[in-house]
Copies of this chain bind each other. A is one copy, B any other.
Amino acid sequence: MNDSDPRATRTGRPRSTAADAAILEATRASLVDLGWSKLTMSDVANRAGVAKTTLYRRWAGKNELVVDAVAVLFDELELPDRGSLAADVQGVVLQFAALLERPEARTALMAVVAESTRDDSLRLRIRSAIVDRQKRLVLLGRERAQARGELRYEDDSSAAARNADLIFDVIAGAVVHRTLVSAEPVDSAWASGFTSLLLLGLAGAQAG
């Protein structure tokens, strides 16, 4: 979470895991009530019933705290096998969209990404805590589609990786842009339109 290496047996009073949970919960609550820009460390500390200094002992600042607080939302992401690539893609799209409907995520995600444009360590933290959790759904969906015979197994592994990155940016980017920039709902009609566009593109790429 924040400690680089919590060596198993250490002397002294251990950190309160209850405080950890309370702080992250309080951070999400504060995001809902106040939004990113008005969230303050003092407010989070008050909500968590914890001293402000305790926050700073664990997180360098607001950026890191919010990333960790929002990251757990992405653990809920799942990809049940819906039987076809089209159904799986639509499932991923609707899950991303549902996540972006939550006010904690809406206000926090773009903000931390914006911060990360000037903070490499924050960018890496976001990648491992959030982006990789999303991307694994795309990789899983591809594997399934290959097992079904809907997609070819690619022999050039680096090209395959580039391809997966492209698909991921297209899916996640489109959903985020639709939700937060265009500010229009990702309903099942939009999801199916997007899915068919993407799948027709993939089918065309398979063909020639």
Contacts and interface: CB of A to CB of B under 8 A. Distances in A.
The complex is assembled from copies of this chain, and their number is 2
B118 A35 contact: yes
Interface in A88-107: 103, 106-107
Contact of A166 (B103, B193, B204, B205): B193
Given A172-B177, A193-B162, A182 B131 contact: yes
Provide the main secondary structure of the chain A interface. Answer: helix
Nearest to A135: B182
A107 B117 contact: yes
Contacts of A165: 182, 184
B182 A169 contact: yes
Contacts of A170: 170, 173-174, 194, 197
Given A196-B205, A202-B197, A178 B182 contact: no
Given A37-B115, A197-B202, A204-B200, A177 B183 contact: no
A160 B37 CA distance: 37
B117 A35 contact: yes
Interface of A: 35-37, 103, 106-111, 113-118, 123, 126, 131, 162-163, 165-166, 168-170, 172-178, 180-184, 190, 193-194, 196-205
